[in-house]
């Protein structure tokens, strides 16, 4: 668990306050350090002095980097939000006591929780791919929307991004697309789900109970249509990155498989929204899911594969740095195991 999250949780139980202080300024790198992964030297994965220094540098607040084959993957914490829950946002179809028991068993507060938002940058082939974009300027007043600032600390400028991949069109994933009405990542093309596009631009969505989100899509996503490729299950999002359907959270929610050097990793977006409530109890309702039954079915299907095939995954709302594995539990469900050094050293596991 990150220092920020740990402090936030202990602070919450003490003070029962909502404010998540995001103290400490991050020094922005003046110029971009981005070089395509293919051109970067040294893909051997022993933890030598240079790798040890890079790993230590990567342990800065707000960003975290791992290597997968020749790909460099950097998770960026756009921000966090503390609030009441997880019940009934999670588990509204269960009793409050059952959720309290589950939280107690996992050493978590029963009535308060912290949600994190983690866009990810992937240097793969000659691309720099950004998966999801955080809150952008709309989140700044609440200490979120820190993607671009923390990208700079990690050595990337907005101009370096060549592809923006969107798992889905909820506000916490698309608001970083634009800054004062202009594209935040001016050199990027975009990829997203065909079904996702169709739903949020439909009259039904614009008139329905999620009309506010449809409005955001109209303002932030629709203007980028000329540079956007719409994907179906199995389509290539970029060289080395394949889109897979994971419908339910939203009608066109997509996840991505990244492969490099014979290794693979899944970007699961919002397939699971809480590292305990959604993974240990994948069938429990989640208020963020548009279709509860379909979302639960998708959760079980996706994490069953991840557990069976021992695939590392990055989940947008997993505790920062949001990367880990899923261990199958007896009696159903999965336990989130944070990645520690598995990707930094070679060897079977």
Judged by DSSP in three states, 61 sits in: coil
- C-beta closer to Zn ion: residue 316 or 334: 316
- C-beta closer to Zn ion: residue 240 or 319: 319
Cβ contacts of 326 within 8 Å, gap of 6 or more: 279, 303, 306, 307, 313, 334, 335, 336, 337
DSSP E strands in the chain: the ranges are: 63-68, 71-76, 79-84, 112-117, 120-124, 127-131, 163-165, 178-179, 182-183, 189-193, 228-231, 236-238, 241-245, 254-260, 263-269, 313-315, 323-328, 334-338
- C-beta closer to Zn ion: residue 129 or 286: 286
Measured from the Cβ of residue 218, the count of other Cβ atoms closer than 10 Å reads: 14
- C-beta closer to Zn ion: residue 160 or 270: 270
Whether 300 contacts 283, CB under 8 Å: yes
Interface with Zn ion, residue 160, by CB under 5 A: no
- C-beta closer to Zn ion: residue 58 or 277: 277
Strands 228-231 and 254-260: what pairing?
A: unpaired
CA 72, chain centre distance (Å) = 16
Residues 6-35 as x/- pattern, contact with Zn ion by CB under 5 A: ------------------------------
The single residue listed with the structure tokens 């809480």 is: 274
Question: Shortest Cβ distance from residue 118 to Zn ion (Å)?
Answer: 10
Select the span of 119-127, 134-142, 144-152, 269-277 touching Zn ion (CB under 5 A).
Answer: 269-277
Question: Shortest Cβ distance from residue 239 to Zn ion (Å)?
Answer: 26
Interface with Zn ion, residue 123, by CB under 5 A: no
Interface with Zn ion, residue 80, by CB under 5 A: no
Binding residue for Zn ion (CB under 5 A) from 78, 270, 289, 339? 270
Compute the distance between CA of residue 118 and CA of residue 178 in angstroms, rounded to an integer.
17
Select the span of 65-73, 220-228, 264-272, 300-308 touching Zn ion (CB under 5 A).
Answer: 264-272
Question: Shortest Cβ distance from residue 323 to Zn ion (Å)?
Answer: 16
Question: Shortest Cβ distance from residue 143 to Zn ion (Å)?
Answer: 17
Select the span of 61-69, 251-259, 265-273, 298-306 touching Zn ion (CB under 5 A).
Answer: 265-273
Q: Is 234 left (phi over 0), alpha (psi -120 to 50) or beta?
A: left
- C-beta closer to Zn ion: residue 242 or 273: 273
List the Cα angle 2/266/3 in 5-degree steps. Answer: 0
Measured from the Cβ of residue 54, the count of other Cβ atoms closer than 10 Å reads: 16
Question: Shortest Cβ distance from residue 269 to Zn ion (Å)?
Answer: 7
Whether 80 contacts 20, CB under 8 Å: yes
Compute the distance between CA of residue 177 and CA of residue 163 in angstroms, rounded to an integer.
12
Question: Shortest Cβ distance from residue 166 to Zn ion (Å)?
Answer: 11
Stated as kind and residue range, the H or E segment containing 304 is helix 292-308
- C-beta closer to Zn ion: residue 76 or 153: 76
- C-beta closer to Zn ion: residue 125 or 270: 270
Question: Shortest Cβ distance from residue 132 to Zn ion (Å)?
Answer: 8
Cβ contacts of 118 within 8 Å, gap of 6 or more: 75, 76, 77, 78, 314, 316, 317, 318, 320, 321, 322
Question: Shortest Cβ distance from residue 115 to Zn ion (Å)?
Answer: 8
Interface with Zn ion, residue 245, by CB under 5 A: no
Site for Zn ion in 164-183 (CB under 5 A): 172
Q: How many residues bind Zn ion (CB under 5 A)?
A: 2
Question: Shortest Cβ distance from residue 343 to Zn ion (Å)?
Answer: 24
Q: Contact residues for Zn ion (CB under 5 A)?
A: 172, 270
């Amino acid at each position: 668990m990150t220092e920020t999250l740990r402090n936030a949780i202990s602070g919450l139980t003490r003070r029962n306050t909502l404010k998540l202080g995001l103290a400490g300024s991050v020094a922005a790198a003046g110029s971009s350090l981005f070089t395509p992964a293919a051109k970067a030297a040294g893909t051997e994965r022993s933890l030598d002095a240079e790798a040890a220094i890079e790993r230590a540098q990567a342990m800065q607040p707000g960003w975290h980097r791992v290597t997968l084959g020749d790909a460099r993957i950097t998770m960026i914490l756009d921000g966090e939000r503390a609030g009441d829950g997880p019940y009934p946002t999670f588990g509204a179809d269960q009793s409050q006591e059952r959720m309290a028991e589950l939280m107690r068993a996992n050493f978590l507060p029963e009535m308060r929780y912290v949600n994190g938002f983690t866009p990810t940058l992937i240097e793969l082939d000659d691309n720099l791919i950004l998966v999801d974009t955080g809150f952008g300027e709309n989140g700044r007043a609440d200490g979120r929307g820190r993607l671009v600032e923390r990208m700079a600390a990690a050595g990337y400028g907005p101009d370096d991004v060549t592809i923006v991949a969107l798992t889905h069109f909820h506000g916490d994933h698309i608001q970083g697309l634009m800054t004062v009405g202009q594209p935040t990542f001016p050199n990027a093309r975009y990829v997203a789900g065909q079904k996702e596009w169709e739903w949020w631009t439909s009259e039904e969505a614009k008139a329905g109970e999620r009309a506010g989100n449809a409005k955001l899509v109209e303002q932030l996503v629709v203007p980028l249509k000329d540079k956007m490729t719409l994907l179906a299950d199995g389509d290539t999002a970029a060289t080395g990155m394949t889109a897979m359907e994971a419908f339910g959270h939203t009608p066109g929610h997509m996840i991505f498989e990244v492969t490099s050097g014979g290794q693979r990793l899944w970007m699961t977006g919002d397939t699971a929204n809480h590292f305990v409530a959604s993974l240990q109890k994948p069938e429990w309702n989640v208020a963020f899911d548009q279709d509860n039954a379909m979302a639960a079915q998708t959760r079980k299907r996706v994490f069953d594969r991840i557990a069976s095939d021992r695939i590392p995954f990055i989940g947008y709302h997993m505790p920062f740095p949001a990367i880990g594995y899923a261990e199958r539990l007896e009696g159903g469900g999965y336990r989130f195991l944070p990645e520690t050094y598995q990707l930094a050293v070679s060897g079977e596991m």
